[in-house]
Amino acid sequence: MTSSVAVRSYDTHWIGGQWARSDAEGAIDVENPATETVLASIPAGTAGDVRRAVAAASAAFPQWSTQPVRVRVAFLERLVAGLQARADEFADVISSEVGAPFQMARRVQVGLGLAIASSYLDIAPTFAYEKRVGNSSVVKEAAGVAACITPWNVPLLLTLQKIVPAIVAGCTVVLKPSELAPLNARLLAEVIAECDLPPGVFNVVFGAGPVVGSALASDPDVDVVSFTGSVPAGRAVARAAADTVKLVHLELGGKNASVVLDGADLELAVRATVDQMCINSGQACLQWSRLLVPRHQQEEALAMAADVAARYRVGDPTDPETDLGPLVSAGAAKRVRGYIEQGIEDGARLVAGGPERPEGLPVGHYVRPTVFGDVRDTMAIAQEEIFGPVLSVLPYDSEEEAVRIANGTPYGLHGAVWAGDTEHGVRVARRIRTGLVDVNGGPFNVLAPFGGVKQSGIGRECGPEGLDAFLATKAMQLPADAAELAGPRLQEIKS
């Protein structure tokens, strides 16, 4: 399939329901990572662009936040229909700017994003926005203006994961997409423009994180910041938001462990782990990058992992036969190759892949799927998020040691446990310090909360918890049946 994305020079943001020219004098090129050619350029947004977008969102908030839920859900119905109608176009754009194979982009990047968006068609109307507690009415109200800052790796899905519950909750939104993959956000704005959404409810400002992201996080009229990205960038967002004491959601990195227990189906566990390691060319926070196996099964597991990795076809993302496309940039490929070289230097055993460029691919940011054995949990490849198709196999001698190794990184986002029976797997999963654990291949559930612990982040997305993240709680104290006093005075509480 040939990409239909033309080389375009854009100089506008989506602000207040229209394409508004940027203050920026400069532009940022958007590269196709498979061909290393420029797809388009976007404005290098400014703090002034951010201020106008936030002002538009602030002006739209009073009216939008008081709309009945059915009105906001009707917008979502139109949005889902619009996304479905242009799903192939979104997949084509994402394939071109991220490097994901088209079929993967269509099935996961777009398809799963649509499933998440559609889930709120059922969640929003049935959500408990109000409850009675004694003489108090406790209500959930829109939290305000939400700044949604999204990454490049799964751009549409992670954007929908934020803006859909925010808008359905009654918030107004300013989206800052990654400058590496912004074209899907322009297409999203085009779809939303056809959904009869009041001006200012949804806005997009393009540009670099240190400029646009920082301005959004520090703007006094922004009430909520929802950020997905790296740990250092997340810290910077939290610092920028601290002066105005905003509500901050952070979904950061992961160094996720797939733990195989004695008695588990080893072949199934290894195959699933390698597949998960390779998803999106390893550029996924959910990636299982560590495989923990009983020491007596390490050699068998390594042979299986090497065989599965060797079957992956690396190449042109427009080729239907391709399994793995390129990494997003030259810097990303250099970083991943550096980790592979570091693993070799530290004494890990290379059993598949390596730092060399894949054969027959002289152009593009390609990396070979790589598997290491004899990895110690103190090595950099076992501790640091690589964000590439690199798997470390760590042998262990007891279940206690396996749990210790799994929990022995600064992260706690995702993980897996494989056991001979599910009850055993659940017992071990309860001991793994992560926000999400798959037991014996349990599939991803868009209705379940997603997020991490430790340095993997703060807060939850998806499901009812994802909607609640954009709501503020208010308690209204109503007159008690036998109240003797009124006004701002405390009565004696009698047991």
Residue 2 is predicted with a pLDDT of 42
Residue 480 is predicted with a pLDDT of 79
Phi, psi of 434 (to 5 degrees): -140, 165
Give per-residue pLDDT as tens, 46-70.
Answer: 999 999 999 999 999 999 999 999 9
Per the DSSP assignment, residues forming a β-bridge with 21 are: 12
Catalytic residue, chosen from 148, 171, 278, 285, is 285
Residue 6 is predicted with a pLDDT of 56
Nearest to 216 by CA among 65, 132, 207: 207
- Full-model pTM: 0.94
Give per-residue pLDDT as tens, 329-382.
Answer: 999 999 999 999 999 999 999 999 999 999 999 999 999 999 999 999 999 999
Alpha-carbon torsion, ordered 315, 317, 320, 324, to 10 deg? 60
CB atoms within 10 A of CB 313: 12
CA atoms within 13 A on the CB side of 202: 27
Q: What are the mean pLDDT values of the chain's consecutive 10-residue runs (495 residues total)?
A: 62 98 94 97 97 98 98 98 98 97 96 98 97 95 98 98 98 98 98 97 97 98 98 97 97 97 98 97 96 98 97 96 97 98 98 97 98 98 98 98 98 98 98 98 96 97 98 94 53 48
Q: How far is the C-alpha of 312 from the C-alpha of 118, rounded, in Å? A: 32
Give per-residue pLDDT as tens, 427-461.
Answer: 999 999 999 999 999 999 999 999 999 999 999 99
461 has catalytic annotation: no
Residue 339 is predicted with a pLDDT of 98
Q: How far is the C-alpha of 197 from the C-alpha of 214, rounded, in Å? A: 27
401 has catalytic annotation: no
Catalytic residue, chosen from 251, 278, 385, 461, is 251
CA atoms within 13 A on the CB side of 310: 8
What is the β-pairing status of strands 136-142 and 130-133? Answer: antiparallel
**Contact of 247 with 143, CB cutoff 8 Å:** yes
Q: Give me the domains of the chain, ranges plus CATH numbers.
A: 8-252+452-475 (3.40.605.10), 256-439 (3.40.309.10)
Cβ contacts of 405 within 8 Å, gap of 6 or more: 257, 290, 292, 377, 394, 396
